[in-house]
Amino acid sequence: MSYPNIPDVDATISITKADSINLLLASIAFEELALAHIVNAEAEKIQFVLGTLPEQNPPETPPTIEDLLEIDRSVERTLRNVIKKEMLLQFKLEDTLSTTTVSTTTTTTTTTQETTQVGSAWTQGTHFGTSAIAKYTTLASDQNDKSVDLVLGATEIDVGTVQIHRSGDSLFVTVTTDPPFVMSQAHLYVDGTAPTNSAPGQLGHTYDPGIFFTSHTFIVDISEFSGEELFIAAHALIFETI
């Protein structure tokens, strides 16, 4: 017996963490689509035996009880396998969504203009922690959408917005700056209780791409807070283009 001939494949790839998660979600969607086609094919199999497919001529010999039982067993075996695959896809989806932070809509800014750091900006809301400027906002249990200002420093200069959207077990929080302001880092806190530690790096979710950007969306799994009020604090390290 000869050994298999395995081609020389260069497995080196360069994708971000966000890209890999998006690819996993896309693969789940395609697998679900394939399973939907299989279920539809099984339904058409039964229709064919019964002679009820569109534009199908009725069978010359009606199916017997044994024929119907056999087709039923065949469909049942297939659907059992589909259900097993669905369970695996559910685990795959839950593991993918359990990743703390996913970047799906990030607009980066590359500029030849000089920038100067102007400080920290937080969601407009309630003060917390030892910082004089750290603030959080809330999303009520019956609320799915909210928009608050992103304010800079103790003077609370409006430098952007924080858009919050709840969809099922996922929370989408988009932090955006307005010109001439850009960000170098973004941090996010999401929980069922109010935050107490105002250190940005301890909020739980961090985006630090190493370049300036003007918008970033965090996607957070909130399945453990189903039906609860959410406490949300967004922070950004702000620079101003000169």
For 222-233, what is each residue's pLDDT tens digit?
989 988 999 999
Whether 150 is covered by a domain: the verdict is: yes
The rounded percent of the chain whose pLDDT value lies above 70 is 86
Check whether residue 159 and residue 55 sit in a common domain: no
Check whether residue 77 and residue 112 sit in a common domain: no
Average pLDDT over residues 32-56: 87
pLDDT at 3: 59
Check whether residue 137 and residue 228 sit in a common domain: yes
Whether 83 is covered by a domain: the verdict is: yes
pLDDT at 101: 44
Interstrand relation of 126-127 and 107-108 (parallel, antiparallel or unpaired): unpaired
Whether 212 is covered by a domain: the verdict is: yes
Check whether residue 85 and residue 112 sit in a common domain: no
Domain boundary among 56, 76, 97: 97
Helix locations, 137-219, DSSP H: none
Q: What are phi and psi of 62, to 5 degrees?
A: -60, 145
Check whether residue 118 and residue 45 sit in a common domain: no
Count CA within 13 A, CB hemisphere, residue 77. Answer: 5
Taking only the tens place, the pLDDT of each residue in 145-197 is 999 999 998 889 999 999 999 988 899 999 999 999 999 999 999 999 999 99
Which range among 20-34, 79-93, 136-150 has the greatest average pLDDT?
A: 136-150
Q: Model's pTM, two decimal places?
A: 0.58
94: left (phi over 0), alpha (psi -120 to 50) or beta: alpha
Domain that holds residue 89: 17-97
pLDDT at 105: 47
Contact 50, 43 (CB under 8 A): no
pLDDT at 20: 77
Check whether residue 118 and residue 145 sit in a common domain: yes
Check whether residue 137 and residue 184 sit in a common domain: yes
Check whether residue 81 and residue 173 sit in a common domain: no
Contact 237, 184 (CB under 8 A): yes
Check whether residue 125 and residue 219 sit in a common domain: yes
Whether 3 is covered by a domain: the verdict is: no
Check whether residue 63 and residue 155 sit in a common domain: no
pLDDT at 127: 94
